[in-house]
Structure 1
Amino acid sequence: MTIAKTTRDVRTTGSPWIRRFHTAVRPQDAPVLVVLPHAGGNASFYFPISRDLAPHAEVLTIQYPGRQDRFGEPSPETVTGLVDEVERALRPWLGKPLVLFGHSMGAVLAFELTRRLERAGTAPRGLVLSGRRSPLLPEEGTTHIDGDDALIARLGELSGTDPQLLADPDFRQLILPSLRSDYKAIETYRYEPGPLLSTPVSVLCGQSDPRASVAGSMDWRQLTGAAFTFRSFPGGHFYLAEQHDAVVRALTEDLVAFAGA
């Protein structure tokens, strides 16, 4: 039987960019699932996924600057800048069987990081993209230059943050700098055409997500020449919290499928 040990915010990875919440007794060749959070998100949001996948994988969750224990640190304001930092933090794991999982903004980072790793000859075993439509359908937006109230309202529309927290002035002031940086990064991102991915891709989405429709999410299949899997779930942009058990099952299936690809 696999035994998992759990602690909050374990920082034994040697990088402020990476959280490893759980360790487990597992084979040495177990996959390493790298979780890239959404805009405004933090590593702890993905604690339940890490907990329930610990028997199957080593789960590393990215912690962007400007949130939780990294409050006060400036965050890169471009997708390229974020990918640069994540790639640097992951270098000790590049020889392991990596699987990248990104939600919303994190999906774009995971996609661009996969492209970069393929060019370097260190491609991940698989790529899971969640809550984000294909970059072939660019997202125009000015949220990052709107006023604070508009930025907070945009966050509230996606139902990923407790409304009582969003109404707290102190909390708002804490999260606004990193939130604005994240929105600037994703709203100014433009896909640059290139070779199709050689990495297998799995796409997950919420059936009523106002930001990532089923059709727009399925368009990711145009960007890989490898195996492509698509699943949709009841719920909106943060369906992965509403449908936690089903999402964990899907990720477990993906880890198995990628291992055999």
Structure 2
Amino acid sequence: MKVAIVANNVPHTQKVKDRLIQKFIDRHFDIDQQAPDVVVTIGGDGTLLSAFHQYKDRVDKIRFVGVHTGHLGFYTDWRDDEIDDLVVSLQSDNGQSVSYPLLEVQVKYQNEAQREVYTALNEVVLRRSGTTMMTDVYIGGEFFERFRGDGLCVATPTGSTAYNKSLGGAVVHPSLNVIQLTEISSINNRVFRTLSSPMIIAPNDWITIEPEGAEDFILSVDSDSYPKSKITEIKFKVSKKKIHFAKYRHTHFWRRVQDSFIGDGYDN
């Protein structure tokens, strides 16, 4: 098995990384940062998100395993004191995996013939810098609404627990092959009306938005921002690709939600 390690720069994380590398060497694993079969991330969800984008061109060929050095994350199943057990699981690997949907984004810029294509694990956000954004929204090719507000967020099911949730979006189980559109501070009055509710979009439907007028849009794909020339159209759809996690010990999704947002105890 060829393995790669991606870790954040926190000193404790680097110590865990060094220990794991030595264990891989002792057990004759092939450490290959270029073309691995399994990518082990050490840190938190942000580290795994970074690793996903580092290997996004090979996402169909690899599986991810997350080791957390803080609190349990949505993409990390192992604690930093369990790396011996993790190595044993890797040694007895039988190729099992659990797969989650990704988001495909096609962006058309003014005066550019080719669309830019991005893939997101969590979400894509479109905003304007310092003023109201206006855009027509189409679902499945049919006009749905004219949006006015701060911006729009399109999230995957796994991303539904991130920025999308803070916007009032629904938490969606990652076994559902869907995406979610959530408004950011929409303007609703006697003149301007939007649905003002998150929408779950089926896998066979595109979301198309056509922003109006400005050249100061900021497009964010997961943790990366793309301020660029005028955006004339963006299309969103459930990607044909998926991210795969090695299924050695995969924490139940609702257990992750409960642990992250509610905790084990409650006040009477």
* Larger gyration radius, structure 1 or structure 2: 2
Higher helix content, 1 or 2: 1
Give TM-score, length-normalised by structure 2. 0.23
Higher share in strand: 2
